[in-house]
Amino acid sequence: MKNISGTKVAKGKVVSAVLLKDLRIELRSRVVTNQVLPFAGLVMVMFAFALDNDDVLERVAAGLIWLATLFSLFMIVQRSFAIDTADGALDSLRVAGIDLAAVFFGKAIALALKLIALEVVLICGAVLLYRVDLSANGLVLLVTCVLCATSGLAFVGTLYGGLTAGAKGRETLLPLLLLPVVAPVLIAATRATEAAFGSGGAQTSEGWAWIGLLTVFAAVFGVGGSLAFGSLIDE
C-alpha cells in the first residue's frame, strides 16, 4: 500500500503494528487472563464433575482440553473484534486503505499467542486434574500439535470474526459458522494429544499422521483468509 506521501509501507510493518496493538490491549485489559482463562478452567472442572471417574477422565482428557479451547476461541475472537469495532477503528482502517491482508495476519498472530497461553494452562490443568502422564517424546508431539492446531484455529477464527464483526446477532452466528469448520482441528488435535498422553494405550508415533492434517488446515485457511478477509469486512 502506498501512503499519502507516496512511500510504500511494508506489509510486515502493518502486521507488527496490528499484532503489538492487540497484545498491548490484552496486557492492559487482561480480558483473556481474567475472564476467558477462568472460564476454560471451570469447563475442565465441570467435565470432571460430570464424568466423575478417574479412568474415564484420563482417557478423555485430550478431547476436553480441545473442547475447552474451542469454547474459549469464540470468546477470544469476539473480544478481539470488539476492540476494533467499539470506537470505529475497523472503519478507520478501511477508510485509510490499510492492507487488510496484513491486518488479517496481525490479528491472527495475536489471537494465536493468546490461544497458546490458554492451551498451556489447560494442558497443565489436565496433567494435574486428570492425572495424565507425559513422556519426553510425547512432549515434542504435543508442542508441535499445539502450534499447528493453534495456527489453524487463529486463521479461521480471525476470518469468521471479521465476517461477523459489527453484525447483529454475531454472538450466536459466530459459533454456528465456526464450529463445523473447526471440526477437523478438534478431531486431529484430540487424536494427536491422546497419542502424546498415551491415553488408552495410544502410541506416540500414531499422533504424527494428524499433524499433517493440522498443517494442511492451517495452510488452507491462512491462504484463504488472507485472500478473503478484506472482502468480508468491507462494506
Partner 1 sequence: MSQVLQRTSATGTRATRVIGATSILVMAWVVVSGLLLTPQDVVQGESVRIMYVHVPSAWIAYLAFIFTAVASASWLISKKHSMGFDRFAGASAEVGVMFMAITLVTGSLWGRLTWGEFWQWDPRLTTTAFLFVTYIGYLAVRRLEGSVEQRARRSAVVAMLAVLEIPLVHFSVVLWRSLHQGATVLNPNGDVKMDDLMLFTLFSGVVGFTLVFIWLVLHRQRTMLLVDLANNQGLDSAIVARRAEGSAN
Partner 2 sequence: MIVNFSDVVIVYDNFPALAGASFEIASGEIVLLQGPNGAGKTTLLRACAGLLPIARGTATVLGCDLSVERSAVRTKVGLLGHANGLFQDLTVAENMSFWSRLIGASDRDVETAMQIMGLSDRLSAIRVANLSAGQRRRCALATLIVRRAQLWLLDEPHAGLDSQGRDELDKTLRSAREAGATVVFASHEIDRAQNLATRFLNVVGGVVTAS
- Residue numbers of the site for partner 2 (CB under 8 A)? 1-5, 7-9, 13-14, 16-17, 21, 24-25, 28-29, 83, 86-89, 91-98, 234-235
**Residue 94, C-alpha cell as written in the block:** 478501511
Select the binding partner of residue 38 from partner 2, partner 1, none (C-beta < 5 to 8 A, by kind).
none
The C-alpha atoms of residue 31 and residue 83 are separated, in whole angstroms, by 11
DSSP assigned state of 199? G
- Classify the C-alpha dihedral 228-229-230-235 as positive or negative: positive
Minimal distance, residue 228 CB to partner 1, in Å: 5
Minimal distance, residue 113 CB to partner 1, in Å: 24
First vs last Cα of the chain: how many Å apart?
19
Q: Identify which of 221, 110, 153 has the alpha carbon closest to the alpha carbon of residue 145.
A: 153
Minimal distance, residue 59 CB to partner 1, in Å: 13
Select the binding partner of residue 24 from partner 2, partner 1, none (C-beta < 5 to 8 A, by kind).
partner 2
- Residue 106 neighbours by CB under 8 Å, 6+ apart: 14, 15, 16, 17, 18, 19, 21, 22
- Residue 113 neighbours by CB under 8 Å, 6+ apart: 23
Choice between 41 and 166, CB closer to partner 2: 166
- Please report, as ranges, the residues that interact with partner 1 according to CB under 8 A: 159, 163, 167-168, 173, 176-177, 179-181, 183-184, 187-188, 191, 206, 209-210, 213, 216-217, 220-221, 224, 228, 231-232, 234-235
Select the binding partner of residue 149 from partner 2, partner 1, none (C-beta < 5 to 8 A, by kind).
none
Select the binding partner of residue 184 from partner 1, partner 2, none (C-beta < 5 to 8 A, by kind).
partner 1
Select the binding partner of residue 183 from partner 2, partner 1, none (C-beta < 5 to 8 A, by kind).
partner 1
Q: Identify which of 113, 101, 152 has the alpha carbon closest to the alpha carbon of residue 23.
A: 113
Choice between 37 and 105, CB closer to partner 1: 105
DSSP assigned state of 162? H
